[in-house]
Amino acid sequence: MSDSAKPDSYDVLAVAPHPDDLEILCGGTLAKLVKQGYKVGIIDLTSGEPTPRGSLEIRAREAEKAREILNVPMRINLDLPNRILMDEPANRFKLATLFRRYRPQIVIGSAGRTPAASPDHHQGHLLIEAARFYSQLTKWDDQFEGTAPYRVPHLVYAPFPFEAEQRSWQGTFIIDISDTFEQKMQAIQTYESQFDLGRFEKVAHFIRCVNGATGARCGYMYGEQFALPTSVGSTDLFTLVNGSKSLLSANIQPGKDHLPMG
Ligand SMILES: [Zn+2]
**CB contact at 8 A, 217 and 198:** no
- Binned at pLDDT 50, 70 and 90, residue 6 comes out as low
> What are the pLDDT digits (tens) for 80-125?
999 999 999 999 999 999 999 999 999 999 999 999 999 999 999 9
CA of 245 to the centre of ligand 1 (A): 37
CA of 256 to the centre of ligand 1 (A): 50
CA of 246 to the centre of ligand 1 (A): 40
pLDDT at 28: 98
pLDDT at 245: 60
Q: What is the mean pLDDT of the chain?
A: 90
CA of 74 to the centre of ligand 1 (A): 20
CA of 118 to the centre of ligand 1 (A): 6
- End-to-end Cα spacing for the chain: 26
What are the E-state strand segments in the chain? 12-16, 40-46, 74-80, 106-111, 154-159, 171-176, 223-228
> What are the pLDDT digits (tens) for 195-226?
987 889 999 999 999 999 999 999 999 999 99
**Angle, alpha carbons 141-13-172 (nearest 5°):** 120
Bridge partners for 75 per DSSP: 42
- Half-sphere exposure at residue 246, Cβ-oriented, CA atoms within 13 angstroms: 11
CA of 18 to the centre of ligand 1 (A): 5
Compute, in degrees rounded to 10, the torsion defined by CA atoms 127, 132, 137, 143: 50
pLDDT surpassing 50 at residue 53: yes
DSSP state of 141: G
pLDDT at 197: 79
The DSSP-derived string for 189-246 is: HT-TTT--HHHHHHHHHHHHHHHHHHHHTTT-SSEEEEEESS----S-HHHHHHTTPP
- Strands of the sheet with 12-16, listed across from one edge: 74-80, 40-46, 12-16, 106-111, 154-159, 223-228, 171-176
CA of 233 to the centre of ligand 1 (A): 31
CA of 100 to the centre of ligand 1 (A): 25
CA of 117 to the centre of ligand 1 (A): 8
Question: Of residues 260 and 88, which shows the higher confidence score?
Answer: 88
9/3 Cα distance (integer angstroms): 10
What is the C-alpha R_g of the chain?
Answer: 19
Compute, in degrees rounded to 10, the torsion defined by CA atoms 5, 97, 159, 184: 60
> What are the pLDDT digits (tens) for 148-169?
999 999 999 999 988 888 788 8
pLDDT at 4: 44
Domains and CATH numbers, the chain: 12-231 (3.40.50.10320), 235-262 (no CATH)
CA of 27 to the centre of ligand 1 (A): 14
Neighbours of 152 (CB within 10 A): 21
> What are the pLDDT digits (tens) for 243-258?
766 555 555 444 444 4
